[in-house]
A and B are shown apart, each in its own frame.
Chain A
Amino acid sequence: MAHLQGQAVKQITEIVERYKNERTPLMMILSDIQKEYGYIPLEVQELVSDLTGIPVSEIYGVVTFYSFFSLTPKGKYVVGVCLGTACYVKGSQLILDKFSELLKIKPGETSEDGLFTLDVLRCVGACAIAPAVSINGKVYPQVQVSQVQGIIDEYRAKENK
């Protein structure tokens, strides 16, 4: 816990306080922390354990069970390629492979410059515009393999400005 800044401790305490009247609030607490910081490292789990009395082993079990929670920080741009069935039958695996090839990372990994994380999504409910790619919430409809380089360049250009 020594690594955590005072500010972070304060904020996490505040998040835990938010749900003090709820029964079994662990999932809600972790969701808020994930949203706020983008990941839930061990130090934070220890703090949540201290504040709630839930053993850290149990918290770690929960964090590692759900795909929404992450132990490591995500890239600045989280590229989510939908591999829901509707997208898959329209070739989204090829889109994912292309992102993987161009960014030189496997799904779930973050690029060395910390700019991109490549994620597999399981249906964003945008089946009408399959195959869909979502980058930080912005949805790209009907993506073609040939567009992938352009999409990456769009974000790289933003950084180089």
Chain B
Amino acid sequence: MAKIKTSDELIKKSNDCSSCLDAKFKGLKGKRAIVVCGGTGCLSSDSSSILKRFQELIKKNGMEDKVTANIVGCFGFCSQGPFVKIFPEETLYTKVKVADADEIFEKDIMGGEIVDRLLFVDPQTHEKASKQHEINFYKLQKRDVALRGNAEINPEDIEEAIGSGAFLALNKALHMSRQDVITEVLNSGLRGRGGAGFPTGRKWQFAYDVQSDEKYVVCNGDEGDPGAFMDRSIIEGNPINVIEGMMIEGYAIGAQNGYFYIRAEYPVAVDRLKNAIKQCEELGLLGDHILGTDFSFRCHIRLGAGAFVCGEETALLNSIEGQRGMPRPRPPFPAVKGLWDKPSVINNVETLANVPYILREGADAYAKIGTEKSKGTKVFALGGKVNNVGLVEVPMGTTLRQLIYDIGGGIPNGKKFKAIQTGGPSGGCLTEKDLDTPIDYDNLIAAGSMMGSGGAIVMDEDNCMVDVAKFYMTFICDESCGKCSPCRIGTKRCLEILEKITEGKGTMKDLDELKTLANVIKSNSLCGLGQTAPNPILSTMKSFYDEYVAHIVDKKCPAHVCKSLMQYKILPEKCAGCGLCARNCPAGAINKTDKVPAGKPETFPLRVHEIDPDKCVKCGLCQANCKFGAIIKD
């Protein structure tokens, strides 16, 4: 590929590539295109073999000039994957298996006929939808800011990115003064998407104002919040967009080098990013004198090694510097003394993915999206007990009810909604009364949680909130770096109290102690990890105090989760005596009684079974195997 040396050359290249994309997606010259979802969920359902099969079929039929097949980023609707989309008709096939590829190719590609059985069926209305925008899951979303190009362009082909408008924002920025770029980002109202919501433009301004021979920009892709995969999908789906955001930032603050810090658990994201950087370098879009200007910039990748605390910005810097990922005391802030003691700005992946949109469309257009104090969109990883699990991008101000019921399709199996956990281990649980709260940074904090990086886990009546608090505390104890004692020792003591409570050994005094301890950790820890670590405890204690009391006073776990406080029982009136439970019991805890099953004569050969609570290990295998629904948790 020829290098792009000037603005004019970029615009020409952009127009050429845009025509190519048009031909591909609008079916000019009789072209057809097949795209296959390459998100994590779909890849684990073997979507790469589906793609391979399509490529074989195209070759076998000699249709290389007419039909293309490639991988794209995440469609987001993971519970319906793998997805295959056919252009120009935009027919969307769901839950495709490798064996279905031949039928799609034969009927749709060769015959122009839709494969009806692979279309999405709405679980409520039972209506079929052949296009993405007809599906409720997508109707309230706005997937063209941070998730721009995701599930559309080939993330491994820079020409498709350029055809969809990549680098035009950078080009615009390079014709502005550095201060004007920062002002534009300030005016857009963009706030950090990593969790705390600090205004991005202000961060940039701090670093811009510091005089230094060398400055750095760092992209925080250490997405450690369990249950969150936004950053991963953004990089996997459109790495160029993030690179462009980083370059604009680099130009604005006066940096020449940018570092991506990415979790080692995300090999696909790392590969796609590496490939994108290489292609940028080949085109001269990274390197010296970009687009004929004085701006020179290079991107580097550093991998994490499985430490949650490295998501904290100063710990992340230490990790890049080859040290233990422990946070540094502040001040000095990284904008003054950051990576290798030089002024540095650390921005989250999603934040950077917003930047090209702001420059391209203008701060005013961006600021029109969202609420008064939280502008733009937010990507959520919607998971847990919700029908439509997946990756969602919505304008700020969308309500939790819209997120869970309209987009998420409600709670499965007719269960009752109990809570939605946002903000991961730093956040809290929101309940029924918060459902109509518009989602933005300040509202979530006022409601006792926080935006966090975007994990949104829905819980139903079967989830025990004390157990959830214990889960997060276990996580934090594992991940506390140990540098400061409130976090290192305090979280351990909190966990011990929670364990005591879930084992039925807690006292009401423990609850007071837990609360005091939580507040001490909150106000005395060194970094964000410790300062927010007690939030899951405090928020569940606030909203579900009764549940804590039930564990302590009644010695009962209302959700039947805590093993010490529940037991399995066989309902004699429902037991058919088949004995399947006894055969599956690993502990030999299920015995025959001498009772015959309800409604059977005394001569009936089978007998009702019962569980010996002393031997039962509460594994739940009996319940999973019972065909008569005769085994309950009590």
Contacts and interface: CB of A to CB of B under 8 A. Distances in A.
Interface of A: 22-28, 30-31, 34, 54, 58, 61-62, 65-69, 83-86, 88-90, 94, 97-98, 101, 121-130, 132, 139, 141, 144-146
Contact of A141 (B44, B384, B463, B475): B44
B138 interface: no
Nearest to A67: B306
Nearest to A32: B303
A127 B194 CA distance: 19
Contacts of A68: 264, 304-306
Q: Which interface residue of A68, A101, A123, A139 has the most chain B CB atoms within 10 A? A: A123
Given A26-B322, A27-B302, A31-B264, A127 B383 contact: yes
A94 B457 contact: no
Interface in B40-73: 40-41, 44-45
Contact of B41 (A22, A97, A129): A129
Contact of A24 (B81, B308, B322): B322
A61 B324 contact: yes
B229 A54 contact: no
A134 to B, nearest CB: 8
Interface in B328-384: 340, 381, 383-384
Contact of B308 (A31, A101, A122, A141): A122
Nearest to B76: A128
Contacts of A94: 619-620
A122 B305 contact: no
B619 A85 contact: no
Contacts of B302: 27-28
Contact of B226 (A26, A66, A84): A84
Contact of A85 (B320, B424, B624): B424
Contacts of B620: 94, 145
A54 B321 CA distance: 12
Contact of B305 (A22, A69, A144): A69
Nearest to A123: B226
B257 to A, nearest CB: 10
A9 to B, nearest CB: 22
11 contacts: A24-B322, A26-B323, A34-B305, A62-B324, A122-B226, A126-B40, A126-B44, A127-B229, A129-B44, A145-B619, A146-B621
A26 B320 CA distance: 9
B224 interface: yes
Contacts of A139: 44
How many of chain B's residues touch chain A, expressed as a range?
35 or more
Given A22-B300, A66-B306, 10 more contacts: A24-B322, A31-B303, A54-B322, A65-B307, A65-B481, A69-B305, A86-B227, A126-B44, A145-B619, A146-B621
The 4 closest A-B pairs by CB, nearest first: A128-B78, A26-B322, A125-B229, A85-B227
Contacts of B584: 146
Contacts of B44: 126, 129, 132, 139, 141
B322 A90 contact: no
Nearest to B301: A28
Contacts of B624: 144-146
Contacts of A122: 224, 226, 306, 308, 475
A90 B459 CA distance: 9
A133 B213 CA distance: 48
Contacts of B463: 89
B325 interface: yes
A61 B322 CA distance: 11
B45 A141 contact: yes
Interface in B62-111: 78-79, 81
Q: Which interface residue of A84, A89, A122 has the most chain B CB atoms within 10 A? A: A89
Q: Which interface residue of A68, A90, A145 has the most chain B CB atoms within 10 A? A: A68
B585 to A, nearest CB: 12
Contacts of A141: 44-45
Q: Which interface residue of A30, A34, A65, A98 has the most chain B CB atoms within 10 A? A: A65
A83 B424 CA distance: 13
Interface string B549-585: 0000000000000000000000000000000000010
B81 A128 contact: yes
Nearest to B474: A83
A129 B78 contact: yes
B47 to A, nearest CB: 12
A139 B267 CA distance: 14
Contacts of A146: 584, 621, 624-625
Interface string B376-405: 000001011100011000000000000000
Given A129-B41, A145-B624, A146-B625, A31 B305 contact: yes
Contacts of A125: 40, 228-229, 232-233, 265-266, 381
Contacts of A128: 41, 78-79, 81, 383, 389-390
B232 A89 contact: no
Contacts of A83: 226, 471, 475
Given A86-B383, A94-B619, A23 B475 contact: no
B424 A98 contact: no
Contacts of A58: 323
A66 B325 contact: yes
A129 B619 contact: no
A22 B298 CA distance: 13
Contacts of A54: 322
A67 B307 contact: yes
Interface in B228-265: 228-229, 232-233, 264-265
B31 to A, nearest CB: 32
B455 interface: yes
Contacts of B232: 125
A118 B61 CA distance: 47
B503 interface: no
A28 B481 CA distance: 20
A69 B307 CA distance: 11
Nearest to A62: B324
A14 to B, nearest CB: 19
A101 B384 CA distance: 26
B428 to A, nearest CB: 13
A48 to B, nearest CB: 11
B468 interface: yes
B449 interface: no
A129 B79 CA distance: 7
Contacts of B14: none
B393 to A, nearest CB: 16
